[in-house]
Amino acid sequence: MLISRRNALLSMAAIPAALSVTNLPAFAQSAPASEGSVDMDKLLADNALPEMFKGEEDAPVTIVEYASMTCGHCANFHNNTYPELKEKYLDTGKARLIIREFPFDPRAAAAFMLARCAPNDAYFAMVDVLFKQQSTWARAENARAPLENIAKLAGFTQESFEKCLTDQQLLNDVNKVRERGQTEFGVNATPTFFINGEKYAGALTIDQLSAIIDPLL
């Protein structure tokens, strides 16, 4: 169901914490099984919002991640795996990572909206901070104060904070990205990754990602 009520963005009840991901062994892992594939041209067709990505646009491997900002598994991936992915593959031109919004609740939608509105094109920096501080706002009794504090540190004014969270068109577009992921590509959980069109669900480790990516290079 799409999120449509602006006045619910910051006031809904606390979101239960997601179950933590069990640490996987340090030895090399085989690639997880793909859950299916999608047409890359269709996957990379224009969305309601501009694509936000890290890495080179012409990298041989394209990773599309559907994420929710209140998802504990997504936070686990971005806090623990993303830094290694960035260093090993994104910064070296071997892969690019596209993040697409798939909010499961109004708070996640609000957080994504703030990332989209972040001053100085700081989308990824805002996403990083929101995931690192997820426990302070996603499960708070009222998310407004902690989100406002994070936003001010990112350079928002009170006016730009309010303007962003009351931007109905932006909220509609975030919802459209989510709806398209669900209806066209079968996304029903977060994080879900499409790596050169192959679908993988769950917070993949760097070893699992390497096992998928290296044969494609």
Distance CA 202, CA 180 (A): 19
Within a domain: 9: no
Distance CA 161, CA 149 (A): 10
Within a domain: 12: no
Within a domain: 38: no
Q: Which domain holds residue 162?
A: 47-216
Q: How would you class 6 by CB atoms within 10 Å of its CB: exposed for 0-12, middle for 13-18, buried for 19 or more?
A: middle
Residue 16, pLDDT score: 40
Backbone φ and ψ of 208, nearest 5°: -65, -45
pTM (2 d.p.): 0.86
Residue 2, pLDDT score: 45
Within a domain: 179: yes
Within a domain: 14: no
Six token digits for residue 15? 């979101």
Within a domain: 23: no
* Sequence-distant (≥ 6) Cβ neighbours of residue 82 within 8 angstroms: 97
Within a domain: 41: no
Distance CA 132, CA 127 (A): 9
Within a domain: 24: no
Q: How do the pLDDT tens digits run along the chain, 217 residues long?
A: 444 444 445 544 443 433 333 344 444 568 889 999 999 999 999 999 999 999 999 999 999 999 999 999 999 999 999 999 999 999 999 999 999 999 999 999 999 999 999 998 899 999 999 999 999 999 999 999 999 999 999 999 999 999 999 999 999 999 999 999 999 999 999 999 999 999 999 999 999 999 999 999 9
In this structure, are residues 184 and 29 in contact, taking their beta carbons and an 8 Å threshold? no
CATH number (domain holding residue 183): 3.40.30.10
Q: How many domains does the chain have?
A: 1
Distance CA 129, CA 23 (A): 23
